[in-house]
């Protein structure tokens, strides 16, 4: 009896600690599991599990040594994203392994939350179920309170801040092939500290790039050091994207891209938007330079 109680106590503790969401509320991330041991070995194990669950790992990103991020997709994600007017960014989900306070946190972006944020026709409930089965589910996390579908489908952080369809047009080209080639060239050259993390062809003349950033106020490390401060880390926020749609290269406004994953980020004070107030313009400049546009020398 004593042995059985000792075995069930950790499960009861996990259930007690799991955040309680009101009906229909969602949060941007899911904590899958916690581990100790070798991060590289754990990442390899996750890749195997994800492959067995029907996901393709299209990129891997380590913006700083304590972090490994796997970018994954499948046909459900790509098909829904390709059919969307503004939501092609939803073609991927991200799985993170983060070393923090002596443990390894495995987490992933919440597919059903992202389906609403990107105004997709699919709910991604099946994607969520597949990730839960493959990786685990200790509960959704992020802001203290969850958001409902209606709030997410027209999301903006506050008055005057951008919506999904307010994306930045980075550059315009003669055709889709020329636009893709320009982004490939800029990322290969490391323009403004950028690098290619992944590239996905979605059809409908849509190509999605994942972009790592390492320079100045656009640096992923610089920004995450300010905004990712809670005990359970939100590392799966990264990386940012460039979408080539037709002959144009776009990027989500950084104010929107940050806020969808950190909707409770304060406007002012410690760990706030104010402390990274120059980063949205720096991110736009870096991504535009990656697309072949001369950078803003202020960043």
Report long-range pairs for 100-105 (Cβ below 8 Å, ≥24 apart).
100/66, 100/231, 100/233, 101/231, 102/36, 103/34, 103/35, 103/36, 104/34, 104/35, 104/36, 104/37, 104/39, 104/42, 105/31, 105/34, 105/232, 105/233
Q: Using pLDDT thresholds of 50, 70 and 90, give the confidence band for residue 116.
A: very high
Please, what's the b/e burial string for 63-82 (b: 16 or more CB within 10 A of its CB; e: otherwise)?
A: beeebbbbbbbbeebbbbbb
Residue scoring higher pLDDT (1 or 212):
212
Q: Do 191 and 147 share a structural domain?
A: no
Check whether 14 has a pLDDT greater than 50: no
Q: Using pLDDT thresholds of 50, 70 and 90, give the confidence band for residue 23.
A: confident
Q: 153, 186, 208 — which closes off a domain?
A: 153
Residue 9 inside a domain? The answer is no
Q: Do 128 and 67 share a structural domain?
A: yes
CA–CA dist 102, 126 (Å, integer)? 33
Q: Do 270 and 180 share a structural domain?
A: yes
Q: Do 31 and 120 share a structural domain?
A: yes
Q: For tokens 């062809």, what's the residue?
A: 201
Q: What are phi and psi of 26, to 5 degrees?
A: -135, 155
Mean of pLDDT values over 83-91: 96
Q: Do 208 and 146 share a structural domain?
A: no
Q: What is the reported pLDDT for 19? A: 54
Residue 202 inside a domain? The answer is yes
Q: What is the reported pLDDT for 21? A: 76
CA–CA dist 244, 169 (Å, integer)? 10
Q: What is the reported pLDDT for 3? A: 46
CA–CA dist 189, 186 (Å, integer)? 5
Q: Using pLDDT thresholds of 50, 70 and 90, give the confidence band for residue 114.
A: very high
Q: Do 117 and 53 share a structural domain?
A: yes
Q: Do 138 and 232 share a structural domain?
A: no
Residue 298 inside a domain? The answer is no
Domain containing 225 equals: 168-290
CA–CA dist 235, 28 (Å, integer)? 11
Q: Do 130 and 29 share a structural domain?
A: yes
Positive or negative torsion for Cα 257, 229, 233, 137: negative
E-only strand ranges, the chain:
29-35, 56-61, 67-73, 93-100, 103-109, 140-141, 168-172, 194-203, 206-213, 240-245, 248-251
> What CATH number is attached to the domain comprising 80?
3.30.310.70
Rg (CA), the chain: 19
Q: Do 149 and 233 share a structural domain?
A: no
Residue 81, token pair as written in the block: 């994203």
Q: Do 177 and 147 share a structural domain?
A: no
Q: 90, 121, 153 — which closes off a domain?
A: 153
Residue 38 inside a domain? The answer is yes
Range name among 145-149, 240-244, 295-299 with the lowest pLDDT average? 295-299
Q: Do 118 and 213 share a structural domain?
A: no
Q: What is the reported pLDDT for 299? A: 66
DSSP 8-state assignment for residue 191 = G
Residue 271 inside a domain? The answer is yes
Q: 119, 153, 187 — which closes off a domain?
A: 153
Q: What are phi and psi of 113, to 5 degrees?
A: -65, -50
pLDDT digits (tens, 9 = 90+) for 218-250: 999 999 999 999 999 999 999 999 999 999 999
Q: Do 34 and 142 share a structural domain?
A: yes
Give the mean pLDDT of the chain: 93
pLDDT digits (tens, 9 = 90+) for 189-202: 999 999 999 999 99
CA–CA dist 20, 145 (Å, integer)? 9
Residue 206 inside a domain? The answer is yes
CA–CA dist 208, 93 (Å, integer)? 13
Check whether 70 has a pLDDT greater than 90: yes
Residue 284 inside a domain? The answer is yes
How many domains are contained in the chain? Answer: 2
CA–CA dist 121, 128 (Å, integer)? 15
Residue 103 inside a domain? The answer is yes
């Amino acid at each position: 009896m004593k042995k059985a109680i000792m075995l069930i106590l950790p499960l009861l503790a996990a259930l007690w600690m799991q955040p309680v969401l009101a009906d229909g509320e969602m949060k941007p991330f899911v904590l899958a599991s916690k581990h100790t041991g070798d991060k590289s070995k754990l990442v390899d194990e996750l890749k195997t599990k994800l492959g067995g669950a029907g996901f393709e790992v299209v990129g891997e990103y380590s913006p700083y040594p304590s972090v490994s991020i796997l970018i994954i997709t499948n046909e459900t994600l790509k098909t829904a994203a390709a059919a969307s007017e503004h939501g092609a960014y939803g073609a991927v989900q991200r799985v993170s392994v983060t070393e923090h306070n002596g443990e390894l946190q495995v987490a992933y972006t919440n597919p059903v939350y992202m389906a609403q944020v990107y105004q997709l026709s699919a709910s991604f409930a099946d994607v969520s179920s597949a990730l839960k089965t493959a990786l685990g589910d200790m509960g959704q996390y992020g802001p203290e309170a969850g958001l409902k579908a209606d709030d997410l489908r027209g999301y903006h952080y506050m008055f005057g801040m951008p919506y999904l369809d307010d994306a930045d047009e980075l550059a315009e080209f003669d055709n889709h092939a020329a636009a893709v080639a320009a982004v490939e060239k800029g990322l290969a050259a490391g323009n403004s500290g950028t690098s290619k993390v992944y590239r996905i062809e979605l059809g409908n003349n849509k190509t999605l790039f994942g972009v790592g950033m390492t320079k100045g106020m656009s640096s992923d490390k610089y920004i995450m050091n300010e905004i990712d401060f809670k005990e359970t880390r939100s590392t799966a926020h990264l990386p940012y994207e460039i979408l080539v749609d037709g002959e144009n290269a776009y990027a989500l406004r950084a104010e929107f891209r940050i806020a969808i994953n950190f909707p409770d980020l304060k406007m002012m004070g410690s760990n706030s938007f104010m402390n990274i107030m120059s980063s949205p313009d720096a991110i736009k400049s870096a991504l535009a330079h990656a697309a072949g546009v001369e950078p803003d020398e202020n960043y």
